Chains A and B, each alone.
Chain A
């Protein structure tokens, strides 16, 4: 049972960091940025590059966060702001194009073979009979720490108040003198950095490969939509739900349904579970589980 909880937590940590950033940026720019998951892959590759250049892992990860955040800000100012003038659908297709270019760059530079970070091999920790590797423990810890910091920024600082004001009523917020571009850039920077941490953590527990971002696309969007796009902490809760669904699907014994002692769904159905979850959520709660606004759809 404790192993189940740990598995859920590990998956949540990976998804939440990316989904929270996606949702926070959506609140300001009002289009789903598909290339956001590629920031995670870029972050993982940059950390790897830093480590290969001889930097200590923590420093490599910090640098990767800064660079990925800067890329997010640049793309936002140079590309997405212009595309948004033609509407959210065009901006979304534009973000598809950006993610194609980013995948192409990563494929061209690093190749398609999976790569690994250089860590010493240590035996996994055993907590209450459940096995957890050091990387996984770090991943859970880092996610909790970073998400806590982000929540503090959003709900306890003037910056966070400006961001929430812009998300709720843009016209009114701008009329009170809030600089929308500045806030959007800062949130883009932070969300890029969060995605870089998420990608690095994910790659730490598996490996760095070019499909890392693309594989995250649907689970992360599912988490963000279930939490309500534009509601960052809802996205973290959405990530938890998706992680529970994915872990449960593979761990539950469906034997009693078919009258056999053991019957498990194939591992490849993991993805389908979260997509199905997403579809059900869209059918009944199109604006997420935590949406309190009354509106016509």
Chain B
């Protein structure tokens, strides 16, 4: 039971890291990226491929972060003259293309089977302490990312991004290069997401194309919208809430004696309803973004 708790918190912390990363582009800059999960997938696959080729894991991390940065740059350049909703669809398509490639290029990614047996972090420790060590590492990185992200958000860069979100014409007239700003936000966010992906790959010691299903991006968006788009603490809270629903489903399934299809449906429906209720009645989320009044 206690092991399960550690597991749930570890997974929640990894997802919180993804949520913090998406918040940089979606929260601060208001970019509607529906293909964010591709960055996580790239990070995870880099770790998996490094393991497969028996490279040093550190090299896998570096590769993943670099590849995600390139993909992020490509995505933001792709959208330099698109409207927000058109760009959302375009990013969705990019993520699906990345997933299709991962599914088909067996020689690199193991195809639909994925790559299993990725060495966990702290594999030199015994099983019990390795779990704790992993949790501590993820929480430490999460805290660092939160600190960094709120500093970024409160500084000049974050203010520029908010201006771009609220008044793009004003931002242009003040001399900001909107395309460069968007690219920077997307690349920063992609790199952080790749870190989360690398953690995920090490943690479940498996990477597969199912990591990059579009529904995963929607899940992360749900975390952001429930928690409070633009507020770092809020999105982390949202991530933990959604993961709490996910983690409690196996118990609900046993108590109510329902089948796995129904349990999956209840989980999906609950999260959908929560998201919809938030959008309708609490548009800014549980912890709204605090904007400095002048």
Contacts and interface: CB of A to CB of B under 8 A. Distances in A.
A279 B225 contact: no
Interface string A252-284: 000000000000001011011001101100110
B249 interface: no
A92 B264 CA distance: 24
Interface string A68-88: 000000000001001100101
Interface string A111-131: 110000000000000000000
Contact of A275 (B85, B96, B271, B273): B96
A218 B96 CA distance: 9
A128 B243 CA distance: 57
B286 interface: no
Contacts of B30: 89
Nearest to B77: A283
Contacts of A82: 280
Interface string B55-77: 00000000000000000000000
A97 B222 CA distance: 8
A272 B95 CA distance: 10
B262 interface: yes
Nearest to B101: A272
Interface stretch (B3-11, B86-94, B181-189): B86-94
B272 A98 contact: yes
A104 B90 contact: no
A93 B279 contact: yes
B266 interface: yes
Contact of B261 (A94, A111, A225): A111
Nearest to A112: B261
B279 A97 contact: yes
A150 interface: no
A297 interface: yes
B268 interface: yes
Given A93-B225, A98-B276, A282-B78, A32 B269 contact: no
A48 interface: no
Contacts of A225: 86, 89
A153 interface: no
A279 B264 CA distance: 33
A271 to B, nearest CB: 6
Given A100-B271, A101-B272, A297-B81, A279 B261 contact: no
A89 B32 contact: yes
A187 to B, nearest CB: 19
A85 to B, nearest CB: 9
Most-contacted residue by chain B among A107, A229, A297 (CB, 10 A): A107
A71 to B, nearest CB: 15
Interface string B256-281: 00010110111111111101100110
- Give the contact-size bracket for chain A: 35 or more
Contact of B275 (A32, A86, A100): A100
Contacts of A86: 279, 283
B268 A103 contact: yes
B180 interface: no
A297 B81 CA distance: 6
A106 B89 CA distance: 24
A215 to B, nearest CB: 11
Contacts of A282: 78, 82, 86, 89-90
Contact of B218 (A96, A112, A229, A297): A96
Nearest to B93: A275
B276 A79 contact: yes
A105 interface: yes
A283 B78 contact: yes
A92 B90 contact: no
Given A32-B88, A217-B214, A297-B82, 18 more contacts: A93-B221, A93-B279, A96-B275, A100-B218, A100-B269, A100-B272, A107-B264, A214-B215, A218-B92, A268-B100, A269-B104, A271-B100, A272-B96, A275-B100, A278-B90, A282-B86, A286-B81, A297-B83
24 contacts: A32-B88, A83-B280, A86-B279, A89-B30, A93-B279, A97-B272, A98-B276, A100-B272, A100-B275, A101-B269, A101-B276, A104-B266, A104-B269, A104-B272, A107-B265, A107-B268, A111-B261, A112-B261, A217-B92, A271-B96, A272-B96, A276-B97, A279-B78, A297-B82
Interface of A: 31-32, 79, 82-83, 86, 88-90, 92-94, 96-101, 103-105, 107-108, 111-112, 214, 217-218, 221-222, 225, 229, 266, 268-269, 271-272, 275-276, 278-279, 282-283, 286, 297
Nearest first, the 5 A-B pairs at minimum CB distance are A104-B269, A100-B272, A108-B265, A101-B272, A275-B93
Interface of B: 30, 32, 78, 81-86, 88-90, 92-94, 96-97, 100-101, 103-104, 214-215, 218, 221-222, 225, 259, 261-262, 264-273, 275-276, 279-280, 283
